[in-house]
Structure formats: C-alpha cells, structure tokens
Structure 1
Amino acid sequence: MAGEAAHGFDLFPIVGILAAGVIAVPIFKRIGLGSVLGYLAAGLVIGPFGLAVISEPETILHTAELGVVMFLFVIGLEMQPRRLWSLRKQIFGLGVLQVGTCAALMTGAGILMGLPPTVALIAGLGFVLTSTAIVFQVLEERGEISTPAGQKMVSILLLEDLAIVPLLALVAFIAPQGETVTLSQRLIDIAIAVGAVVALIVVGRFLLNPLFRILANVHARKVMTAAALLVVLGAALAMNMSGLSMAMGAFLAGVLLSESTFRHQLEADIEPFRGILLGLFFIAVGMSLDLGVIAQNYPFIILAVTVYMVVKFAGIYAVARLLRAGHGEALERSVLMAQGGEFAFVLFSAALGVGILDAEMNAILTTTVIVSMVVTPIAIIGMNRIMPRETQNLDGVEIADGLAGTVLMIGFGRFAQIVSQPLLAKGVDVTIIDNDVEMIEAAARFGFKIYYGDGTRPDILHAAGAASATAILVCIDRPADATLIVEHVKSEYPLAKLYVRAYDREHAVELVRRNVDYHIRETLESAFTFGYETLLALGVDEAEAAEILFEVRERDTARFELDIAGGLSEGAALLLGNIDRPRPTPSFTPRKRATALNPEAADILAEAQPAEGN
C-alpha cells in the first residue's frame, strides 16, 4: 500500500522546483542580480526547454498565480480605506494619465510594426499592464513601498489592476461580428461584477470580524490560518466567477480587513504561503518562456520587446516629468514599470477566446511579455550602476536626534494601559497587540486601537512592525512568554530598545542575563511606596521612613546583583535582608529622599531646589 501511494504521487517535479529555487535565488542575490531573476532563471533551467523536469508549465502557472493573489491581499492589509482614499488623486489622476498615454503610444508603435489595428490595440493594452509581482517585490526588498515615490507606483499598479475589468469588456465589445455577445449580455456581466464587489464589501464589513473573534476566543490557531486562506481564496474565487480578476478580489478583501484587530495575525498566517507561491509564480513564468516560438519569430520578438519597452519607458518618464517628478524618480519609475505583466496573459487569452488573436499571435505576444519581465531585473541592475541612488544632503539641516520614534507594545493589561498613557500623551506612534479578544473589545470602547496577535510568534512580531520599531515594550504577565519574546527580538531585531515587565525577582534575573535594555518588577515600585506610606501612617517620621526605604532599596539591589552573579540563593539573600543593622542617624537631602521613593525622580528634584545640609 505504501509503495503504491508513493508511486501514485510523483514528488520529482515538486522536489525539482524547490531545489531550483533554493539553489538559484541565493546565487543570483549573492552576485547582485536579485531574487526575481533567480526564480526566472531557475524556471528556464527546469522547464521544457531546459532539463524538462516540468513538461507543462501552464498548469504550474495557473496554480502559482495564487502567489500574486496572496501578495495583493497582504498589500491590501496595509491600505486602510482612509489611506486608499488619500491616494485617490494619484490612482485616478496619475494612474489614468500614465495608462492612457502609454496605451496610445504602444498601439501606434504596434501599427508601425505591421500589426493589424485591432491586434495592435490588444498588444498595447496588454503590455501597458505592468507586472505587479515584479514591481512590488523590488519595492519590498528595498523597503520603499511606503515612500512617496513607492506610493505613486503602488497607485499606478492599483489602477492597472482595476483596469483589467473595462479592458476585458472592451475585448468583448470589439470582438468579430461572428461572436454572439450581445449588449444585454454585457450589461448582465457588468451587473454581476458590481454585485460581486458589493457582496464582498458587505461580507467583509459585517461577517469577517465576528468569525475571527470566535476563532480567537477558542484559541484555534491552526483554524485561524485556515480561515485566513479561506478569506483570500474565497474573495479571489468570487471575483473570478463574476468576471473580475482574482487579484482584485484578494486586494479588496485585504482593504476591508485592514482596520480589523486581526490584521497582523492574518498577515503573519498568509506570509509563508504568499512567499512560496510568489516564488513559484516567477519560476512558472521562466518555464513558460517558449524557446521554440522565440526561434521561429525572434526578429519580431526582439523588435517588439525593444520597441514596447522603450516606448513605455518614454511614456512613463514623460508623464512623471509633466507632473513635476524629479529626474531620478522619473527614471526609476520608468525602468521599474517598463515591462508587461501577468494580467497581459489574461487579456491575451480573452482576445484569443473571442477570435481577435490567433494561437500563433497569442504565443508571440505572450513570449514578448515574458521576455520583458526577464529583462527588467537586468535593466534595474544597469540603472543602479549607471546612476547610483541619490543621498540626501543634510548640510545645514538639524537632525531629529532624540525625538520619539515608533513603539511596539505587546500586551495591554492593567500594567500596559498605564505605560501607554505618557507615550500617547506625547504623540508617540504606538502599535499595540494582544491575544485577549475581550481586552481588545473593552479597550476599543475607550478609544484604543488594539490589534489581535500572539507576540511569541516571530511572524506576528514582523507583521506588527518590529523591524521598524525604535522600542519594543513587553508588558505581558506570563514570564515564560515574555522571555520567549525577548529571545525572538534579540535574535531578529537587535537594534530595537527592549523594555520588559518582569514578573518577579527570578524573572528579572533572567531578563538581565539576556541583556534587555530595561526591566522592572511589576510590583516593586508600588510595594515600596505602599510600605513607605504605611510607616508614615504608623507615626514614623518622614525622614526616618525614607531612610528605612533607602536601606531596603540598597539591600534589595545588593541581593539582586548577587542573584545575577549566582552568588547567593534566594533564601540566603532574603535572610541577609532581614539581619538587623545599626541604623545611621538620618541625614537626608532631597536627592536621597527622592531616591528612596523613586530613583528616577532624584535628578529632577535636585534641580528644583538646593541640597540641604546635614
């Protein structure tokens, strides 16, 4: 039985794909060619015209498109509706202007190359749809998605993704007269598409948050991962069945969940699948490169790739400069977006289905787009070497040194709620995650935005922004989990300041040994103050009470240092603390009294008034 099962499922192609990616990508990144080109080269090597590990790359490509779908879902999670609304001018202004200009130029170029007008239009419209996967991958590797220049490219790509809907309608409209697509059928298709979008918005707005809340309350972590996949793939399927693109459905689902408290958890759950499938997509594109078609039509393909990329480059550059972008920004945008994209395959397939393109022309245009995608990483490398990226001149400009940066707070119980108040009062950008749904809902009633997430998971920390945080505050009350978070942060984000709530002395010793930047035992300061106030209530003089507290602090500090060094056991340290000693005559300055109550207050009080004599 086992042997039959093993022979019934062929692992060789899967192992071949994984091996190709694992070998090629590190090599290409090592020599500075980037991961995208590494995936493309790996696909070409194992494809039908290489080692023939895979004989039908089309089947792999259809599955691998889910990588693009999940990638756009993750991007959607970063695009809160208010942020998307703020980009409306760039999406429908810059985006429409660039797409319209480039489409017109490339249609004219196709006609000049000898293509029939209708074919030239489809070829130009297909090539104007930039590869979302390539551009986003490059922007993500550079960390530029959130920069102003990156946001403009994101806006254009969103417009191009939305444009696939009217472009598919246009294909049906200009189909040969022999086709039976009527105006009423087109109107029905449009109504179905609009209805699908509305239905997705309703589901996302009213059903998804309650679903994830139920799963979070029962702590069904693996089921939450399945639910995240269900949301992405379900939205993609709904859009696909309604005639829209799967990527658009996933993006819209991401936007609808971008304000959800489960946003970071969803991103972390999707990330492993997204990374693997997106790499598989690029490998499949490399495998789809038909060297036979290239051999038969290489003069035209070389001409088409060159003309389309040059014309698109010129159109993008002209639009960028017209809208007052700098030379460097315009050049970078033009190089990054000069290729055709994966949605061109969808458009060409639709044109083939209605008879606008024949099989040979479809193969030629598809190969042209694929070659342009292969050429793009090389063009980016050339641009970087010819024109190094500009660095800002800071002469005469004050550097914002010491200003508050971003803070990631893990846990939002009674301790963290107090800690957050001075940070928020100062206007510090604080991201808070917690895995207690009831706490999240209670905090929301008082105006706090808390995201659901398990801070002990490295992927959740990454999704919550630990890589860009100036300080990470671990405020949970479970010492084992807090220590685990410390290990992850120290390993992955060593430059972040790490402030940790210690449960007790033993936990505090463990944190010091792990070199956290700051820790405090959660009851230490309140207990000292409580004891001090009790002494005053019993009639002890204020100076003597402060002196006693000062001595207790010193003994506690000494015991703690011995514990760190491993010199005394906990019992011996406590015994040492209870030994009676002759108490010196109280001689207090405001600094010592403040230190007894709160060491950090000493400097402030000392500046406020001169020191008293003995």
Structure 2
Amino acid sequence: MFLALAGILVPMLQRLRVNQMLGFLMIGICLGPHGIGGWAGELPWLSLVAFQDVDRIKPLGELGIVFLMFMIGLELSPTRLWAMRRDVFGTGVAQVTITAGAIGLIAFAFGNPPAAAMAIGMTLAMSSTAVAMALLGKQHALKTALGQKCFAILMLQDLAVVPALILVEGLAGDGGEALWWALLAAIAKAAAAIALLYVAGRRVARPLFSSAAVQRQPEVFVALILLLTLGIAALTAASGLSLALGALLAGLLLADTEFQYEVEIIVEPFKGLLMGLFFMSVGMEIDLRLAAEFPLLLPASVLGLLAVKALVVMLLLSPLGWAAALQGGLLLGQGGEFAFIILAYAVSTQLLTAASSQFFLLVVGLSMLLAPGAAAAGAVIARRAGAGPGSAVQSPEEAGQLTGHIIIGGYGRVGQLIADVLGRQGISYMAVERDRHVVEDARRRRREDCVFSGDASMPELLRRMGSTHAACVVLTMDDPRAALHAVRALRRHYPGLCLLARARDEKHARALKAAGATEVVSGAIESGLQLASFALRAAGMPMGTAGFHMEQERAALLARIDGPAPD
C-alpha cells in the first residue's frame, strides 16, 4: 500500500506542486486509524486502502530519521563538527532553555501544575530534526551559516532527549539531589559512548570498506553500509541515546573518505522512502476530530508555539541579520518527533493526563503540518530582503562547493597524468575511480584527498562532485563500453557540460563523438601519429616539415571522426 502511494500518488501531488512531506502527512491523516482506517470495522473492504495499526509502521518510520541523520553525517566532517561546538553547546542550550522556560510559564498561567508545566515546556521546546533538515536540504541551505546554526540547535536537542526523560521522571517523583546526579551521569555516559564508538569505528570502518571482498562484490559494500548505519544506531540506543545520534556518528565515520559520494547515492533511495513512512506515521497520530472540541484553543496553541519558538530562535540568530534569523525561526518553529516519546513517558509517570497528552500531540502534529508553509514563507522573505551578510543565500564557494574545477572520470595512468598536470598549474580537480584499490593507493601514497570511489557514468555522483559548476569532465576509462555509457548518461542529464573523452581507436572515437562527447582523443591515433613523426624525421625529413604533415594527418582523422560513419 505504501509503495503504491509513493510510486503513484506522490508524483501526482508533485505535479500539483504539493510539498512531498506535506503530501505524506496528509496521506497519514486521511488513511490512518483516525481517518478512513477508523471505519474499517464497519466496512471491512476499507482495510485494503487504509492503515489501522500505527505501531507496525513506527519502527520503519524511525529508520527514515536514521538514514536522514546518516546522510547529514556524510556531508559533515569531524573538523567542521568540532568547529560547531560553540553553536551546539551555546546557541543550542540557550534555545532549549529559553524556549522551555517561556512555554512552561505559559502552561503554568493556563492552570497546569509547576511540574507538568516544566514537562510541557521541555516537550514543546524540541523541533523536528527530520522536518527541519528536509526543509533545509530543499532550500539548499545545509552548508550555509544559517543551516549550520540550525543544525547545531537540532543536534543539541537530540542530545537533550535523554536528560529530558530523566528530568520528567524526577519531576514526577521527589526530584531533589538524586535528579541532578542522574542528569550528570547521563551526560557523562553519552560523552563516553560517543567517544568510544567514534574512535573504535574509525579504526574498523575504513579497512572493512577497502577489503578485497568488498572490491569484488558490490552487494557486500551495500551490506556494510547498512550494518554500519543500523549497527551504530542500535549501539547508541542501547546506551540510552537516540538512534538518530548513532546514525549521525556512522555518517561521520565515512565523511571525508573516498567512499563518501558512492555511499550517499546508495543510501539516498532508502532515506527517501523511509522518510515518507515517517511523515505518514506522524500524520496517523493526528486526530482532526479532536480539533472540534477545542475550536479556539487548539489553533491558538499551534500558532502560539510557532510564534514563541520562532521569536526565541530569531533572537539567538540575530547576528546573521533579521531576514536570515526570521527564516531560521520559521524553520525550527514546529514541534518535534521526540515529543511523542516524552509525552508518552510523562503519561506513564502520571505527570500528565492522557487527555492533556492527546491535546499536545495534536498541537505538535499540526505544527509539523504547517512547517513547510512556514519555511517557504521564511525563504521568500529572506530572498526579498536580499543576500546580505546574514542572508542564507551564498555563492558556491561560500557553501563549500568547488567551481571551475575539472572532474576526472577514471584514475588510471592517464587520469593520474592529467591530475599531475592540473596540480602543477594550480587548477582544482576531483577524480572518481571504480577500482577502490586505486583510490586507496592515491589517498595513501599520493596524499590526494580529492579522489573518490564510484562510477563516473552515474550523473548523480557527478552532481554531488559539483558538475554543474565544473569547467569540464574528462573521461579516461580503459573500458570502451564504460566510457560510451558514461558519455551517453552525462550528456542526457547535462546537455551543456563540456565532455572530453579518451577513445581506444577510431571506431570508438566516432561512437563517443556521436554519443555527445565535446572532444575525443584516441590513444591509438595519437601514438601512431607520434611514431610516424619520429619515423619521418629518422628518414631525413626536417622537424618542421614532419610536424606540418602530422598536423594535416591529424586534421583529416578528426574530420573523419566528426563526420558521418562510413557505409
């Protein structure tokens, strides 16, 4: 049922320009147990087109968050993450503390007991990592100053989930000194677990991915990716931390390695499908029938939540400029998926009633439903305000992307020669090679961190390497069929891209040219012309005359390659 919706209904929604995340949320509301699924008891045939059991879908939805955080970890580097520590423990702590305090005071003013008001404040202070990161990715703002600030806040919120659960338990009990000792122990445990997993993972991950078995069998490579992602996520969950934090750590282990882009392409479909399931499961938690019981309080609470959180984030991000700060506030204004966990725990400890929990679940769910519209409004305001110092709009160089560089497809002898020439001239380049042993050798012996594992015929891989900003792509693969496939695929996706290709012989050169290569160089032709030139000079012909004849021969051969194929 889900695959049918993802494969048929979602493309229809995209044609209508409906946000994909919003589409999955609406599907969850309509086809979930509070929608059509609720009538399946009276009309059994509805069970064929409805979802009745949310608990069976939630674990798969959580995997969507896991793969999203893994992809985010791949795009970060440990050095960049370390550089963000002030934002994580400064801006992030300030956002959670101020927002929780403000919302807690409002809840107390509405008659909630002090302990319950504090629990409500902590719950609603959290934003949705899945929603916010998906929206940042859609706005191409992940690597901007605004994106880094927002990510730092979201990361601190992920770290704060376990202390928040301990605090809820303490508020429901006696609290006191034992509560603070429990909080300190949780923080120390989290730090130790993260450090241990990262240090051990760095020693194990790279040798595993570089092994001979992985080189020979692509399915082993995919299995290792899934093992690393889900394994480390399970270990962090077992140590009391979130699955999402473990997945981020798994991504960091492969960030800045030769496997980065190849892994991203393999994981992307898993992430996209499972994220859809996550948003559907969130939609299934929303019971719009309860909205009739609170016709004024519910919309006021949803808008109030968005306003309070947006205002706090705006104040914290004000150094970026008012437009970017407003955009960040609207991006992080929604409630988060961890609210479902904290509220359920608060009900089990009798800190909140089931009725109160349902109301706040509805507030969180509706705020997530409004998130795409709020984020779009923030982006429009920021765009109209112009690309000032605090704006989220940056050039490719500022966003961490290369521009005007050369992409080399195939890093054998010819590819390495081209790289050496470019390097001596100070021209930036990136190279991609299918043979992982060649890549490992280039990174270890030649100290070249710009060489990556992957297939140059994959347009998505080259897009991640900045093909839209590249000066040209040079294909040097030995395999004639691989080179021809790469030219066809890249020309189909990038009509204006400069494609330079190496051919084996004249027939292969003609095929590459017909497939769309901008320029083709045949190794057999060039070596033959060079040897012919030496032979003419050995026969007594002056160097200049021999060179003139060779240029004529070269021009005639190139004309034959560019012309129609012979009968």
Q: Fold conserved (TM > 0.5)?
A: yes
Residue deviations 1:456-499 (CA, integer Å, cap 9, x gap): 34554455444554432222111101111122212223333222
Residue deviations 1:410-463 (CA, integer Å, cap 9, x gap): 211110111112333444442222121221222121111222213334554455
Counterpart residue identity of residue 316, structure 1: V
Residue 333 of structure 1: which of 328, 331, 346 is its match? 328
Which residue is equivalent to 1:455?
456
Residue deviations 1:74-127 (CA, integer Å, cap 9, x gap): 010010112222323333333333333222222222222222222222222222
The whole-number CA distance in structure 1 between the counterparts of 2:274 and 2:518 is 39
Residue 305 of structure 2: which of 308, 312, 315 is its match? 308
SS in 2 for 1:499: strand
Which residue is equivalent to 1:604?
none
Shift of 1:277: 0.2
Q: Would you say the 8 A contact 2:135–2:375 is kept in 1? A: no
Which residue is equivalent to 1:446?
446
Note closer, same or farther for the CA distance 1:383–1:82 as it changes in structure 2 (3 Å cut): closer
Residue deviations 1:541-573 (CA, integer Å, cap 9, x gap): 223322332332243234434xx41235xxxxx
Note closer, same or farther for the CA distance 1:246–1:387 as it changes in structure 2 (3 Å cut): closer
Which residue is equivalent to 1:409?
408
Matched ranges for 1:242-257 at <5 A: 242-257=239-254
Q: TM-score, normalised by structure 2?
A: 0.87
Shift of 1:510: 1.0
Matched ranges for 1:44-193 at <5 A: 44-52=29-37, 53-177=50-174, 192-193=189-190
Matched ranges for 1:232-381 at <5 A: 232-321=229-318, 324-381=319-376
% identical equivalent positions: 32
The whole-number CA distance in structure 1 between the counterparts of 2:150 and 2:180 is 35
Which residue is equivalent to 2:420?
421
Return 5+ residue gaps in structure 2 as ranges. 38-49, 389-395
The whole-number CA distance in structure 2 between the counterparts of 1:221 and 1:504 is 30
Q: Would you say the 8 A contact 2:27–2:283 is kept in 1? A: yes
Which residue is equivalent to 1:572?
none
The whole-number CA distance in structure 1 between the counterparts of 2:213 and 2:489 is 23
SS in 2 for 1:496: coil
SS in 2 for 1:451: strand
Structure 1 vs Structure 2 CA RMSD: 2.9
Which residue is equivalent to 2:217?
220
The whole-number CA distance in structure 2 between the counterparts of 1:458 and 1:216 is 26
SS in 2 for 1:341: coil
Q: Would you say the 8 A contact 1:509–1:560 is kept in 2? A: yes
Residue 200 of structure 2: which of 174, 199, 203 is its match? 203
Note closer, same or farther for the CA distance 1:203–1:469 as it changes in structure 2 (3 Å cut): farther
SS in 2 for 1:565: coil
Matched ranges for 1:582-593 at <5 A: none
Q: Would you say the 8 A contact 1:176–1:355 is kept in 2? A: no
SS in 2 for 1:210: helix
Q: Would you say the 8 A contact 1:20–1:43 is kept in 2? A: no
Counterpart residue identity of residue 89, structure 1: R
Q: Would you say the 8 A contact 1:215–1:223 is kept in 2? A: no
Q: Would you say the 8 A contact 1:61–1:281 is kept in 2? A: yes
Shift of 1:391: 4.7
Which residue is equivalent to 1:579?
none
Q: Would you say the 8 A contact 1:404–1:428 is kept in 2? A: no
Q: Would you say the 8 A contact 1:24–1:39 is kept in 2? A: no
Counterpart residue identity of residue 49, structure 1: H
Shift of 1:299: 4.3
Return 5+ residue gaps in structure 1 as ranges. 1-14, 394-398, 569-614
Counterpart residue identity of residue 436, structure 2: V
Shift of 1:329: 0.8
The whole-number CA distance in structure 2 between the counterparts of 1:462 and 1:328 is 29
Counterpart residue identity of residue 481, structure 1: A
Counterpart residue identity of residue 446, structure 1: R
Q: Establish whether residue 36 from structure 1 lines up as the match of residue 21 from structure 2.
A: yes
Shift of 1:339: 0.6
Which residue is equivalent to 1:528?
529
Q: Would you say the 8 A contact 2:323–2:381 is kept in 1? A: no
The whole-number CA distance in structure 2 between the counterparts of 1:512 and 1:51 is 57
Note closer, same or farther for the CA distance 1:470–1:142 as it changes in structure 2 (3 Å cut): farther
Residue deviations 1:204-233 (CA, integer Å, cap 9, x gap): 211111111126654211221122111111
Deviates more, 1:426-435 or 1:268-277: 426-435
Q: Would you say the 8 A contact 1:474–1:499 is kept in 2? A: yes
Matched ranges for 1:522-561 at <5 A: 522-561=523-562
Shift of 1:154: 2.1
Q: Would you say the 8 A contact 1:176–1:356 is kept in 2? A: no
SS in 1 for 2:499: strand
Q: Would you say the 8 A contact 1:335–1:379 is kept in 2? A: yes
SS in 2 for 1:432: strand
* Higher Cα radius of gyration: 1
Shift of 1:69: 0.8
Counterpart residue identity of residue 207, structure 1: V
Q: Would you say the 8 A contact 2:487–2:516 is kept in 1? A: no
Q: Would you say the 8 A contact 1:498–1:517 is kept in 2? A: yes
Shift of 1:388: 5.4
Counterpart residue identity of residue 411, structure 2: F
Shift of 1:58: 3.2
Note closer, same or farther for the CA distance 1:438–1:383 as it changes in structure 2 (3 Å cut): closer
Shift of 1:377: 1.9
Note closer, same or farther for the CA distance 1:467–1:279 as it changes in structure 2 (3 Å cut): farther
Which residue is equivalent to 1:504?
505
Deviates more, 1:136-145 or 1:250-259: 136-145
Note closer, same or farther for the CA distance 1:101–1:354 as it changes in structure 2 (3 Å cut): same
The whole-number CA distance in structure 2 between the counterparts of 1:43 and 1:200 is 36
Note closer, same or farther for the CA distance 1:560–1:453 as it changes in structure 2 (3 Å cut): closer
Note closer, same or farther for the CA distance 1:178–1:385 as it changes in structure 2 (3 Å cut): closer
Note closer, same or farther for the CA distance 1:107–1:139 as it changes in structure 2 (3 Å cut): same
Counterpart residue identity of residue 485, structure 2: L
Shift of 1:199: 3.4
SS in 2 for 1:174: helix
